[in-house]
Amino acid sequence: MPGNATAPDRTTGRRHARAAAGTVACAALLLPLLGAAPSAGATDPTDRLQRAFADAAATYHVPQSVLLGVSYLQSRWDTHDGAPSVTGGYGPMHLTDARTALAQASHHSDGTEDARGDSARPAKIPTTGVRTTEVPRDAQLPDRLKTLPKAAELTGLSAEALRTDPAANVAGGAALLAAAQRGLGEPLSADPADWYGAVARFSGADDTATAAAYANDVYDVLHTGEERTTDAGQRVALAAQPDLAPDTGQLASTGLRTVSAAGTECPKTVSCEWIPAPYAEFGDNDYGNHDVGDRPASQSIRYIVIHDTEGAWDGTISLVQDPTYVSWNYTLRSTDGHVAQHVKAKDVAWHAGNWYINAKSIGLEHEGFLAAPDTWYTEAMYRSSARLVKYLATKYGIPLDRQHILGHDTVPGPTTSTIPGMHTDPGPYWDWRHYFELLDHPFKRSAKKDGGLVTILPRYTANQPVFTGCVTKGVPCDAHGSSAVRLYSDHDTNSALIKDIGLGTAPTDNVNDLSSRASTGQRYAVADHWGDWTAIWFLGQKAWFQNPKKQPTAVDASGLVITPKAGLDSIPVYGRAYPEKEAYPAGVPAQAVSPLPYRIPAGQRYAAGEKVPGEYFYSVTFATDSHKVVVGKDQYYEIQYGHRVEFVRAADVDAVPSSH
């Protein structure tokens, strides 16, 4: 998503400030798995949603645990104040009404970022105008995008009630589950084990692999149990059933088609199909939409880049099959977490806007929109993505941290001129805290006080910084949980925001402006403290953020930091780790090792990642015989410099423990 983009028009709900998320410990909330709601005397307003699940389960004869498990996988029981997801899904049951809410956009066609990011070749920027994903006619919509109208038929409730009233929405979901069960010829059993086929059908998937992956996720939730406080302050709990053994044989009677996973590089725990991005030659040695490589034999894969599509599934899939355009390795679908692979891991996709990062990364596009917090990401997609990332990280030895699992918004501009046009997705509304919990690498305190570093870690739901420009420039976005923490020039919210000189503009609170924003999981060197404020070194400046003890937005950490070598007033910062000129063999033009406009003054410290050699993948022809990986002797450290990662030459810095 480019820095100046706004969300497309859509029908949205209005959000309100929400109670802080938390953990429910009260055993009394563990309601029976089927049937009775709390006693008539129960008046706790934070239990309304739990009672709605009990009532709907009793009315439609669906096990309450199944209803809760499905809802958790859809929305984690959040209501989003009546706002739709990216695929037009409403409420805790994610009932879809695409004709009302399906958005139109395509982030790959916006802005000035060259997705390929290789200055050795002409920029790959679209010149044919904006591509959009149009909402098809109702008859053309798949069933997975119109479950809300079906729920309205089954319940007699209005579409408006199903969109905006959580209790009605839960009832609609229960009615759909019961209808799916009856459609399979199965009884409305009180045993959750008897509902596997209905849960698979509820996913909306049209193939057995996706439906099974979805149902398995629901039953995983039933096995482990869950409890949380929702975005609307509702306390909901589901008791664990570790011995529950669903009847998976019901899948055979669902009538769903079989999709082959042949050719894919995916774990067995996700549904995956091969939809290849074409490698085709056209014009005068022009080709697309990726480069043939030999990774990891020729060069290591060190990054996974998280994107959002800024468009809906069908249009995104069409886009990646355009040989004249750009590519990425995988796309993930919102409604059910289905995965399509387009480019093999051995090859280099054009997705991140920085050729050094592209050559060493795998790109994942998630169906969603940055600039519209009302179009939220489903739990099914988060879980599918986490399983895919864990698989890739294990296979290629990629560390699970924020310096290797990058957002597109943390990829550096490779040269000074590219910085303003770099994309900013998945943005401040991607839940990095929850995502890394699903990766089994949760962010946490890793040092006692004064460890020298902090890890940014706000509570997502409670953390609601004001952003503008989601729909209209200058107009505040609806209140929403966020992974972002705002940075100021002093310990005062009235002080100036931190400025990014690379952007060449004054800092703002626009949703696409990364100047003064740190993100969950990022680590920074501590520069100072003042009451409930903490200062970090950021973009060559001392940047302050609110970090109260009662509701901290960061935790103490320790690790390696870099600082300019003694005697140097400042050192340059780079957007790529390229080899020195002498490393290039004959026939391979040397790429400039050009510093960015940024500097690190003496005495400042920055969290360091890996130490790596300069490296460049020369690949400018369709035929692969001239392709070559150039590796230099100069070493670089990846650092967390601002919101984006950057690089510094190892020869310019000392690397020391943060607590030193």
pLDDT per residue as tens digits for the range 333-389? 999 999 999 999 999 999 999 999 999 999 999 998 776 656 688 999 999 999 999
User: Does residue 334 lie within any of the structural domains?
Assistant: yes
Taking residues 587-594, report their average pLDDT: 95
**Higher pLDDT residue, 144 or 339?**
339
pLDDT per residue as tens digits for the range 18-37? 333 333 333 232 333 333 34
Instruction: Supply the range of the domain harboring residue 498.
Output: 446-556
Examine the domain organization and report whether 625 and 498 are in the same domain.
Answer: no
Examine the domain organization and report whether 55 and 166 are in the same domain.
Answer: yes
Confidence at 129, pLDDT banded by 50, 70, 90: very low
CA distances from 22 to 179, 237, 438, 441, 483 (A): 34, 12, 17, 20, 16
What is this structure's pTM? 0.91
Which residue is it, tokens 């005062």? Answer: 492
CATH at 346: 3.40.80.10
Q: What percent of the chain has pLDDT over 70?
A: 88
Q: What is the DSSP letter of 376?
A: P
Give the pLDDT of residue 86.
Answer: 78
Q: Is the pLDDT score of 465 beyond 90?
A: yes
Examine the domain organization and report whether 247 and 117 are in the same domain.
Answer: no
Residue 415, amino acid: T
**Higher pLDDT residue, 105 or 217?**
217
Examine the domain organization and report whether 77 and 214 are in the same domain.
Answer: yes
Q: Whose CA is closest to 453, among 659, 609, 643?
A: 659
Q: Is the pLDDT score of 197 beyond 90?
A: yes
CA distances from 550 to 517, 546, 554, 637 (A): 21, 11, 12, 35
User: Does residue 525 lie within any of the structural domains?
Assistant: yes
**Higher pLDDT residue, 339 or 316?**
339
Taking residues 398-412, report their average pLDDT: 98
User: Does residue 13 lie within any of the structural domains?
Assistant: no
Confidence at 15, pLDDT banded by 50, 70, 90: very low
**Higher pLDDT residue, 444 or 29?**
444
User: Does residue 508 lie within any of the structural domains?
Assistant: yes
pLDDT per residue as tens digits for the range 491-532? 999 999 999 999 999 999 999 999 999 999 999 999 999 999
Examine the domain organization and report whether 527 and 649 are in the same domain.
Answer: no
Give the pLDDT of residue 143.
Answer: 86
Q: Is the pLDDT score of 134 beyond 60?
A: no
Dihedral pair phi/psi, residue 448, rounded to 5°: -75, 180
Taking residues 392-396, report their average pLDDT: 98
Taking residues 540-569, report their average pLDDT: 97
User: Does residue 294 lie within any of the structural domains?
Assistant: yes
Q: Whose CA is closest to 637, among 567, 542, 563?
A: 563
Give the pLDDT of residue 443.
Answer: 98
Give the pLDDT of residue 128.
Answer: 43
Examine the domain organization and report whether 87 and 105 are in the same domain.
Answer: no
Q: Is the pLDDT score of 633 beyond 70?
A: yes
Taking residues 54-78, report their average pLDDT: 97
How many domains, the chain? 4
CATH at 70: 1.10.530
Question: Rounded to an integer, what distance in angstroms lies between the CA atom of residue 491 and that of residue 606?
Answer: 20
Q: Whose CA is closest to 306, among 370, 355, 356, 259?
A: 370
Examine the domain organization and report whether 228 and 316 are in the same domain.
Answer: no
Q: Is the pLDDT score of 482 beyond 60?
A: yes
- The neighbouring-strand residues paired with 638 are 647
Give the pLDDT of residue 108.
Answer: 55
Are residues 647 and 637 in contact, defined by beta-carbon separation less than 8 angstroms? yes
Confidence at 126, pLDDT banded by 50, 70, 90: low
Q: Which of 7-16, 113-122, 138-147, 591-600 is the least confident region?
A: 7-16
Question: Rounded to an integer, what distance in angstroms lies between the CA atom of residue 154 and that of residue 593?
Answer: 64
Give the pLDDT of residue 284.
Answer: 77
Q: Is the pLDDT score of 13 beyond 60?
A: no
Q: Which of 135-139, 315-319, 395-399 is the least confident region?
A: 135-139
Of the three residues 442, 460, 494, the one that is the final residue of a domain is: 442
User: Does residue 3 lie within any of the structural domains?
Assistant: no
Examine the domain organization and report whether 111 and 185 are in the same domain.
Answer: no
Angle between helices 64-75 and 166-183 (to 10 degrees): 110
Taking residues 302-313, report their average pLDDT: 91
Of the three residues 225, 253, 281, the one that is the final residue of a domain is: 253
Taking residues 323-338, report their average pLDDT: 94
Are residues 581 and 629 in contact, defined by beta-carbon separation less than 8 angstroms? no
CA distances from 35 to 54, 59, 61 (A): 6, 8, 8
Of the three residues 442, 457, 477, the one that is the final residue of a domain is: 442
User: Does residue 611 lie within any of the structural domains?
Assistant: yes
* Residue partners of 557: CB distance under 8 A and separation at least 6: 445, 446, 447, 451, 453, 454, 455, 523, 658
Taking residues 633-652, report their average pLDDT: 98
Examine the domain organization and report whether 483 and 510 are in the same domain.
Answer: yes
pLDDT per residue as tens digits for the range 204-245? 999 999 999 999 999 999 999 999 999 999 999 999 999 999
Examine the domain organization and report whether 46 and 152 are in the same domain.
Answer: yes
Examine the domain organization and report whether 131 and 43 are in the same domain.
Answer: no
User: Does residue 151 lie within any of the structural domains?
Assistant: yes
Average pLDDT, the chain: 89
Give the pLDDT of residue 283.
Answer: 78
Examine the domain organization and report whether 539 and 462 are in the same domain.
Answer: yes
